[in-house]
Structure 1
Amino acid sequence: MEFSNMKSTVALVYDRFIQNADVRTEDWLLMSSPVPQSIIILAYIYFVMSLGPRLMENRKAFDLKNVLIVYNFGVVGLSLYMCYEFVMSGWGTGYSFRCDLVDYSDSPQAMRMAATCWLYYFSKFIEMLDTIFFVLRKKNSQVTFLHVYHHSIMPFTWWFGVRFAPGGLGTFHALLNSVVHVIMYTYYGLSAMGPQYQKYLWWKKHLTTIQLIQFVMVTTHICQYFFMKDCPYQFPIFIYIIGLYGMIFLFLFLNFYYHAYTKGKRLPKVLQAQTWAHHTNGIMSGTASADGNGHADGHSNGNVFHHKDA
């Protein structure tokens, strides 16, 4: 009887919670409730943290060179498309870059923004392949807690974004993240093509700077909200989440940048390499190695960069 009462209470709380959701997105793929995506996320965590490494333990690592080339440039194409859609549905066609509210109407512009938010959300499931490729290639040292946490929390939090606030100032970080992904996955795609393309990757050292610029822009933009006299953004909770996430990753990257580029430069070359490896393994969630099995991702997006071969 107690279990039945608890179940009824949970159902009642959920009904009250979901009644404020955007009715336009309720019938879209994975949007009916957070349960389907939760199952996918839990399955992902179980595979990359337990099942996958055990299955690969006595197997030869997969050679995924061609798969990685197609995958990385595929993400580049998808990211370019999302950049265009975010710009055309608001950020380049009317948004003020200040107190931009969510448009819940059925106008073509509002629906275009909502659809772009859903596509960005869905792309986070595609990017889970980053970790799966690590496991299949027996690069288990690159499957860090922060890496898996990031890939798990991004789609989970974005479900609520698409379901409640698909548009407005809370989507600026998604636009920036898509721009950064074009650059990062282009690097990974070229890296995957082989050593003969390394001469075209001279700009690798600037990738961390690009990430830092992204976090500064995201944090600066979202923090405007706290200094506005009147900004009736419909779901302020998302502002707090984005702001917190942005500041955390900005701090992590500044710390990484200091140890890798500033403090590290004053050390002998051997110690520079050790310092680099220590900090990238400690706080970064992806890998950009010579074979292109790389990952740069984040939210607020917290894009995270991590060199193996620097």
Structure 2
Amino acid sequence: MALILKAAVRLYYYLNEDIADPRTQNWFIMRTPWPGVAIIVLYLASVFYWLPAFMRSRRAYDLRGVIAVYNAMQILMCGYVVYKSLVLGWFSHYRLFCQPVDEGPNSVEYAWHVCYTYFYIKVIDLLDTVFFILRKKQEQVTFLHVYHHFGMIMVAWGITKWVPGGHMTMLVTLNSFVHMVMYTYYLLTSWDESYKYSLWWKKHVTQLQILQFTYLMIHFGTLAVKRDCEFPRPCAYIMFPQNLFMVLMFGDFYYRTYIKKKPKKQ
């Protein structure tokens, strides 16, 4: 038992100190994983226990105005991350198939404006679930929804902590663009609920998400097989199966919603 505990402590310090990027190590919530863990635990406890219990004897809240503002803010924040990522990296000097962690003159700016900002956007994303419950739409709090939300917090924290730039950040850029499209759809439905019954919008937003995860699976797969790439290869071993899992989950949702169970025409 003592050997196991000693090995666990050694692993903790290796992950938390030895291989952490020194540029982001002392940023708020980046020093140790425990604040992030606390956010995830608080989120899970809220969406599965506290908020459902709070709403059990209450009517659904009308949050259309709040949600419209929230969606507009999401579009702006995601757009900012996409713009900064392209200008500081992917449209300037980043290579598509093998991009080491950026250590150039703009690397700290990239880490702050892209990776660190993306992490906080993923924390704000948790409000999606809160809004579902307050509006008494508990059926939308699915395993896929909850897993995707808290999983992306872990991914975003890890990017900022260990690899704040380079090959891994294609995920940040692409995911932020997809969320711009998704929250634009949500903003339209908050103004006019007739958009909710538009199969074109709903169907193609889901298709865009599936394409996103498929491309990221290929993107990290190339990192796994490219032997001379200086970017840490363990990232590919984690992210390739993660994105494969998301392709399968979203693919199953798409099949059940748009193929097996054809929506009625409005």
Distance 2:120 2:256 in 1: 35
2:228 is equivalent to residue 238 of structure 1? no
Partner of 2:185: 187
2:44 is equivalent to residue 45 of structure 1? yes
Deviation at 1:231, TM superposition (A): 1.1
Deviation string 1:66-89 (CA, Å, 9 cap, x unpaired) is: 001000111011010000011012
Deviation string 1:136-174 (CA, Å, 9 cap, x unpaired) is: 111111112222122112212322221111111111111
Deviation at 1:195, TM superposition (A): 3.4
Deviation string 1:185-225 (CA, Å, 9 cap, x unpaired) is: 00000101123667999544322222232223212222112
Asked whether the 8 Å contact 1:85–1:112 carries over to 2, the reply is: no
Partner of 1:299: none
**TM-score scaled by structure 1?**
0.77
2:245 is equivalent to residue 248 of structure 1? yes
Deviation at 1:59, TM superposition (A): 1.3
Unpaired runs of 5+ in structure 1? Answer: 265-270, 275-308
Asked whether the 8 Å contact 1:170–1:242 carries over to 2, the reply is: no
Asked whether the 8 Å contact 1:101–1:168 carries over to 2, the reply is: yes
Change (3 A) 1:208 1:35: same
Query: After superposition, where does 1:1-310 map in structure 2 within 5 Å?
Result: 10-17=8-15, 18-104=17-103, 107=105, 109-115=106-112, 116-195=114-193, 203-233=201-231, 235-262=232-259, 264=260, 272-273=262-263
AA of the residue aligned to 2:137: K
RMSD: 2.7
Change (3 A) 1:227 1:119: same
AA of the residue aligned to 1:123: I
**TM-score scaled by structure 2?**
0.89
Deviation string 1:214-267 (CA, Å, 9 cap, x unpaired) is: 22321222211233241121x2222222211211222233344445445x4xxx
Asked whether the 8 Å contact 1:97–1:169 carries over to 2, the reply is: yes
Asked whether the 8 Å contact 2:82–2:177 carries over to 1, the reply is: yes
Deviation at 1:37, TM superposition (A): 1.3
Deviation string 1:76-113 (CA, Å, 9 cap, x unpaired) is: 110100000110121111111011000245x2x11122
